């Protein structure tokens, strides 16, 4: 029996205004590919946005595509929220041939993390004790972000992953003194 093997890649992008989704499926030449459907549910929403795609797609989604922005589409772009995006891709028969992922977007957190790295007083020599302490705090934050992503995407533990993500954000807030 010839089957399609559907798969998607959702890379971590550092542009806060986009979500990138790539079709990495293997399509059988013996079965037609029809009715390709991509559905994306944004964190905090109960409905999914249906996006028109064709097999082999690379889709760059903005706030307008995801109904988070309704004005100035194509001229200004809103930042997409971090959180769990539910992404489902199917082909006919769509109720049988599909793949679904929980993608934990951490772009905004990573931007904050990278800004914190930029603000470190580093040189190509042994850092001061204070800088070393700040580096260790940032290492821990990054590990929490990585763990959150793993819990959501690989361990299939979305609630646990979001708890870890939220804790990492609290650590970032404390690091930035946003809650001091």
**Separation of alpha carbons 77 and 95, rounded Å:** 34
Say if pTM beats, i.e. exceeds, 0.85: yes
Phi/psi at 134 (5° precision): -65, -40
The tens digit of pLDDT for each residue in 41-56 reads: 999 999 999 999 999 9
The Cβ of residue 98 has, within 10 Å, a number of other Cβ atoms equal to 14
Task: Give the chain's domains with CATH numbers.
Answer: 8-105 (2.60.40), 107-175 (no CATH)
Which of 101, 87, 114, 103 has its CA nearest to residue 148? 103
Residue 162 is classified by DSSP as H
Task: Give the model's confidence band at 178: pLDDT under 50 very low, under 70 low, under 90 confident, else very high.
Answer: low
């Amino acid at each position: 029996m010839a089957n399609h093997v559907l798969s998607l890649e959702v890379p971590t992008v550092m542009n806060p205004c986009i979500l990138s989704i790539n079709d990495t499926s293997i399509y059988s030449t013996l079965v037609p590919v029809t009715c390709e459907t991509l559905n994306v549910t944004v964190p905090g929403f109960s409905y999914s946005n249906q996006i028109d795609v064709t097999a082999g797609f690379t889709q760059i989604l903005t706030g307008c595509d995801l109904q988070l922005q309704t004005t100035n589409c194509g001229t200004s772009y809103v930042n997409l929220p971090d959180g769990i995006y539910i992404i489902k891709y199917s082909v006919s028969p769509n109720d049988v041939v599909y793949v679904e992922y929980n993608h934990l977007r951490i772009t905004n957190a990573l931007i904050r993390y990278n800004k914190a790295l930029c603000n470190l007083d580093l040189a190509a020599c042994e850092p001061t004790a204070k800088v070393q302490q700040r580096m260790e705090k940032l290492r821990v934050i990054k590990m929490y972000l990585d763990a959150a992503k793993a819990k959501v995407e690989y361990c299939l533990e979305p609630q646990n992953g979001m708890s870890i993500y939220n804790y990492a954000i609290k650590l970032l807030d404390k690091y930035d003194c946003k809650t001091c």
